Amino acid sequence: MKKLYDKFMKLNIKAARQRSQRRGLTFNEEKYIKRYKATLPILLWYIIVILFAKISPGFIPEIVILLIFLILTIKGLNDYFGWVKIKNTD
């Protein structure tokens, strides 16, 4: 799953780079990596929820769906803005 996630992110960054070149804009790869790290988990969660809703409605309680969505949103905002930083003690 991690390899698929990384490959999807690389493809999105490659497409964004090409789009920027076509428009004649400067491309900041770090900015796009931050943006995709913040939004991709939420988008993947939406896809999983939609699949479960079609296959087996009521399988996951609504409170669990909302709680995971809230956690992913807070994590994405933290990844984007860098409010909380974890330091390694190595």
Over residues 15-42, the pLDDT tens digits come to 999 999 999 989 888 888 888 888 888 8
DSSP letter at 60 equals S
Q: CA–CA separation, 39 vs 32, rounded Å?
A: 10
Per-residue pLDDT at 18: 93
For residue 58 the two structure tokens come to 């009521």
Per-residue pLDDT at 22: 93
Mean pLDDT of 54-67: 83
Per-residue pLDDT at 90: 63
